Structure 1
Amino acid sequence: MLDPLLTDSYDYHLPEGLIATHPIHPRDHARLLVYNRADRSIIHTRFDRLEEFLPQECGIIFNDTKVIKARLYGHKSSGGAIELLINRPLDAYTINVYIKGRVKEDTILQFESALTARVISLSDDGSREVNFYLDDVLIRFEELLPILDAIGHIPLPPYLGREDDSEDEREYQSVFAAHEGAVAAPTASLHFSDELFDLLCARHPHAFVTLHVGSGTFKPVEASVITDHPMHSEFFDIQEEAHTLIKSSLPLLCIGTTSTRTVEYHIRSDEKSGEANLFLHPHNTPLRVNHLLTNFHLPKSTLLMLVASFVGVEETHRIYQEAIDEKYRFFSYGDAMLIL
């Protein structure tokens, strides 16, 4: 028996060829593994048949965050090349980032379009805090966003092993993305075409939450005991329509781990906006979410542990092994799984 509190219990071997490095076309033609907890059955189907497997009485929660072009390439004023990845704004002017290249406090970073950044502090977790300037004038985060859209790059996950291209601008974004701020896509959402999204919304009560996915979502759990892992926090916002659906008696399907964390944090805290840092795992299971639609996740990741909070560690391994045997595509651009 695997101990659900040990990080090593969430390791598995994935053949490199099963990592999806590019999106599938059309996006709703990804494969879908349907797992029923009642009888532990597995059905293999296609994503555009999702509606056929959903309970008739079921509310749906979507995450409407929008991915920003969070990766910038530039150089230090001394000439050394750097790569900067925006993680999240801490306030209107202070931005938490990761920088490839050695920097110290007061290092000036130069980018295209007269954009510069000044390093104001170095954090123990490897991140940095910076202020951005346009023509030497300090700017707010919302003023930075259109500049990023012009000169930034889509922040593809590192395991894709390639640079972003014009296809990623379209495909690494959900069709219902609305509020800018994420630096990683809520990947279960990427499978929805406009037609499938409209169909589900016509047949099921639904609402949107916003959780701006941070780069911490890719951080592997390094502690040997999962509860020793310092869970990252991300900004969330729940509007009244979503609050009403969450508080209703309807069974809930969450589209993705991000909307799941948002709903479950709200249930525990009653907060409608702020910073969510909930870590779901087999010793901290969902209180409100009944069903989950998600992709296949990295070994030893908090996302895999969230899946195990629904089905347990042993079943998670059984499901993943079948997905590997059936040659499903894994990770951000990969196939999907529905847990009923």
Structure 2
Amino acid sequence: MKTKEFFFDLPEELIAQTPSERRGASHLLVLDKTTGKLTDSSMEDFASFLPEDAVMVINNSKVRKARAYGISGSGGKVEFLFLEENADQTWNVMVTKSKKQKSGKEYVFHAPDGRIGASAQIIRENPDGTKTVSFNAPITEAFFQECGHVPLPPYIKREDTFSDESRYQTIYARPEGSVAAPTAGLHFTGEILDSIRERGVQVVPVTLHVGPGTFLPMRVDDIEDHHMHYERYEVPEDTARIVTDAKANNRPVIAVGTTSIRTLESAWDSVHGMLTPGQGRTNLFITPGFTYRVANHLLTNFHTPESTLLVLVSAFAGKDLIFSAYHHAIERRYHFFSYGDAMFIR
């Protein structure tokens, strides 16, 4: 399929620049993928659309303040996005003005009060366009808390603020490691989760640390030529047992977000009919024709044109139904992307 087949026109004013005034107050568009019926609702009523006795899988990865600014020896300001720490305590990063950032270049990172928080040097330029940097001393999460910024996506045309530290984070975020939020989970409040559990739905976590594999655009003519970056995931023992039992007993499985569904499909063992516990890495790119083996329902946001995420949801519900739902959402003035409204495909 051609990448351009996944393009749609979106009025700029429908790209959410801030979260809803109150967490959980977003609109919800419900799509029945069997009949094509669309229902306009709200996240506060999400539980009423769920099948009883289901299992709902959430991604509990926490967003790291992974965007930091380094000053080069010539005084230039370079934006770094810290993707992943390597075993030798170096870091893989994405940088602005990438072609000018060569091996051997050095940078200093300042804290808000002007102190030097750390200094680093590019030691390797990688085939995927990322760089590997080595610090003068190993950095910890304290470096990101002191020197880092919330890594808001580029279509949010403003600087991050203090409120983004909580709103660009799910309420159940635990292990740090993502450089973008698993945005479907941003809609949940404690009250909404309680209403889900009261309906008899078990809520269980997986962890997928969101990286470029999730958010990088497709820059190819044919989607089959796009290659995903690897992302780290973990499936806890309890989650694996509960999901495996659900599938064995024909209980519905609800995935919250594209990262949860990619984790489930990556860790599913078709030979033994079970979800495999433990850690792994995945570059799974789900395209139309893919057979979903685990999730029956999907809660997700509205995604960017020509993105792997839009391709994934098109594979889940059918491209025609998804585009019909998106056109409906545009007509009804839903808000799109990370801080936008939600869509439930059942």
TM range (shorter): over 0.9
Other-structure match for 2:77: 81
Alignment partner, residue 8 of structure 1: 4
Task: Indicate conservation of the 8 Å contact 1:246/1:263, yes or no.
Answer: no
Query: How many angstroms apart in 1 are the aligned matches of 2:238 and 2:331?
Result: 41
- Tell me, what secondary structure is at the counterpart of 2:261? helix
| Alignment check: 8 A CA contact 1:62 1:259 kept | yes
Q: Secondary structure at the match of 1:27?
A: coil
1:301-316 counterparts in 2 under 5 A? 301-316=307-322
Q: Give the CA deviation at 1:257.
A: 0.4
Deviations 1:141-186 (A, max 9, x none): xx42121012210000001111101111110000000000000000
Distance in 1 separating the partners of 2:203 and 2:279: 19
Q: Partner of 1:241 in structure 2?
A: 238
Q: Aligned with 1:29: secondary structure?
A: coil
Tell me if 1:119 matches 2:117.
Answer: no
- Secondary structure, counterpart of 1:48 in structure 2: helix
Q: What displacement does 1:204 show? A: 1.3
Match in the other structure for 1:273: 279
The TM-score, its normalising length taken from structure 1, stands at 0.93
1:144 is aligned to 140
Instruction: State which of 104, 107, 110 in structure 1 corresponds to 2:108.
Output: 110
Whether contact under 8 Å (2:71, 2:109) holds in the other structure is yes
Matches within 5 A, 1:298-337: 298-337=304-343
User: Which consecutive unaligned segments of at least 5 residues does structure 1 have?
Assistant: none
List aligned pairs for 1:1-340, cutoff 5 A.
Answer: 5-101=1-97, 102-112=100-110, 113-133=116-136, 137=137, 139=138, 143-202=139-198, 203-248=200-245, 249=247, 250-268=251-269, 270=276, 272-340=278-346
Give, in angstroms, the shift of residue 92 of structure 1: 4.7
Q: CA deviation at 1:225?
A: 1.5
Q: Is the 8 A contact 2:213 2:283 kept in 1?
A: no
Instruction: Provide closer, same or farther for how the CA distance between residues 296 and 181 of structure 1 changes in structure 2, counting only shifts above 3 A.
Output: same
Q: Secondary structure at the match of 1:157?
A: coil
SS in 2 for 1:197: helix
Aligned residues: 329
Give CA deviations for 1:51-110 in whole Å, capped at 9, x if unaligned.
011011210001000000001112012322211111222335121101124221121110
Structure 1 stretch displaced more, 31-40 or 193-202: 193-202
More moved, 311-320 vs 198-207:
198-207
Structure 1 distance, partners of 2:341, 2:84, is 28
User: What is the CA–CA distance in structure 2 between the aligned matches of 1:328 and 1:77, rounded to whole Å?
Assistant: 46
- CA–CA distance in 1 between the matches of 2:291 and 2:85? 30
Q: Could you tell me how far 1:261 is from its partner in structure 2?
A: 0.3
Structure 2 runs not aligned, ≥5 long? 111-115, 271-275
Does the C-alpha gap of structure 1 residues 159 and 83 become closer, same or farther in structure 2, counting only changes over 3 Å? same
Output the TM-score relative to the length of structure 2: 0.92
Q: CA deviation at 1:209?
A: 0.4
Partners of 1:86 and 1:339 lie apart in 2 by: 33
Alpha-carbon contact 2:117-2:143 (below 8 Å) kept: no
Paired letter, 2:240: H
Matches of 1:114 and 1:19 in 2, distance apart? 35
The answer to which of 323-332 and 85-94 deviates more is 85-94
Task: Quote the Cα distance in structure 1 between the aligned partners of 2:41 and 2:179.
Answer: 30
Post-superposition Cα deviations, 1:181-203, rounded to whole Å, max 9, x if no partner, equal 00000000000112212332453
Instruction: Determine helix, strand or coil for the equivalent of 2:268.
Output: helix
Task: State the identity %.
Answer: 39
CA distance in 2, matches of 1:197, 1:118: 45
Question: CA–CA distance in 1 between the matches of 2:152 and 2:257?
Answer: 18
- Displacement after TM superposition at 1:308 (Å): 0.6
- Give the whole-Å Cα distance in 1 for the aligned partners of 2:242 and 2:277: 15
Partner SS, residue 34 of structure 1: strand
1:206–1:245 contact (8 Å) kept in structure 2: no
Partner Cα distance (1:196, 1:114) in 2: 40
Q: Alpha-carbon deviation of 1:271? A: 6.3
Query: In 2, distance between residues paired with 1:149 and 1:285?
Result: 41
Alpha carbons 1:9, 1:313 under 8 Å: kept: no
Distance across 2 between alignment mates of 1:158 and 1:177: 22
Amino acid at match of 2:173: A
